[in-house]
Homo-oligomer: A and B are copies of this chain.
């Protein structure tokens, strides 16, 4: 569950694919109630009948939060989350779509401000059941360097 992974341990190109999860009407209603965003795009089936998508679409923050959550596997005590860059809502997610997250280590660099730490970029792609990317983002982690041990 806990799995220490130092800056040196990350390999650019490493990839993992999560389990899938069907996004249900319940998730739409829960997300509206959790965030307070009751916009008709997400909750009003009648309103959306005349909209280009023809049906309710998931909140962007729903797809992002669930996509991130799908990737929450082992805890790395040597890393913490700094933020995200280039979060993009690429395609709509509809009720009954099934999503997975594909996570790829895309870059690593020394941290300019924090001695003893580096930055690791993990590309997050949320895929639907047709393999289309529906959301993309770059997760930036701050990761501790492997401690130097005495001798050697």
Number of interface residues of A (CB under 8 A): 53
Chain B residues within 8 Å of A20, by CB: 40, 44, 46-47
| With known contacts A26-B26, A29-B26, A43-B22, A36–B69 Cβ distance under 8 A | yes
Q: Are B40 and A32 in contact (CB under 8 A)?
A: no
Q: Are A29 and B30 in contact (CB under 8 A)?
A: yes
Q: Are B21 and A36 in contact (CB under 8 A)?
A: yes
Q: How far is the CA of A66 from the CA of B62 in the complex (A)?
A: 11
Between A and B, 26 residue pairs with Cβ closer than 8 Å are: A1-B18, A21-B36, A21-B44, A22-B44, A22-B45, A24-B29, A26-B29, A27-B29, A30-B33, A31-B65, A32-B36, A33-B34, A35-B69, A37-B69, A39-B72, A44-B98, A60-B83, A61-B61, A61-B64, A62-B65, A64-B65, A65-B65, A83-B86, A83-B89, A84-B84, A87-B87
